[in-house]
Amino acid sequence: QMQLVQSGAEVKKTGSSVKLSCKASRFTFTQRRLHWVRQAPGHALEWMGWITTVTGDTNYSQTFQDRVSITRDRSMSTAYLELSSLRSEDTGMYYCARSGSYGDYVFDSWGQGTPVTVSS
Amino acid sequence: QSVLTQPPSLSAAPGQKVSISCSGSNSNIGKNSVSWYQQFSGTAPTLLIYDSHRRPSGIPDRFSGSKSGTSATLDITGLQTGDEADYFCGTWDDGLSAAVFGRGTKLTVL
């Protein structure tokens, strides 16, 4: 069964940046889009953007466009999310998720999540 | 405030049926199919329904979905205590050019 394994918890200061990773195993990394989705306390899931693992093309939510960068390392089967200018509202759980089996925005497999805490 | 509206919580007895609603607009549910996700406390979401009514392999037929106009519904029949979880709807929003989700419905099986 395919797996997405994410990096560990992060604690950051406001104004700094964070970079999270998402390693894929047991599926062909280069045949899917990988997305990042945030779950902040008391908020709906928020889609942040995707990367096409074959070409490295990206598409970002307008909400995060100015602060987010999604990259991938094909040799490592790993995708990365970097979020800059962190503020307290960025505190939450960050998930990577795969799409493509059932639709471009149907998330058929999820990582275990990475908790990010932002404080001053 | 979320783009998609779900009831915050629902409860029902074991063996009963529950329907979870997801209300949107013409720019999202009105034009695109809906997915449903189940999330147990402290774990990542898992896909339950896609294309508004289809189940991935391994999902029991106790779970079914439907869509009408700008609303979608997830039905769960033969409720089990193991169904206690949060349930989220999601779709694409053409106006926002973003995937959007509801805030989730916490299901309690009494």
Q: For A40-60, what is each residue's pLDDT tens digit?
A: 988 889 999 999 988 899 999
Report yes or no: B24 at the A interface, CB cutoff 8 Å: no
CB A75, CB B35: distance < 8 Å: no
- Give the three-class secondary structure for A13: strand
- Give the three-class secondary structure for B108: strand
Looking up tokens 């989730």, which residue turns up? B104
Phi, psi of A90 (to 5 degrees): -85, -5
Nearest CA in chain A to B54: A102
Chosen for mutation from B50, B52, B59, B87 (greatest number of chain A CBs closer than 10 Å) is B50
Q: For A104-113, what is each residue's pLDDT tens digit?
A: 999 999 999 9
CA distances from B61 to A7, A37, A60, B11, B18 (A): 35, 28, 35, 20, 14
Specify the pLDDT at position B87. Answer: 98
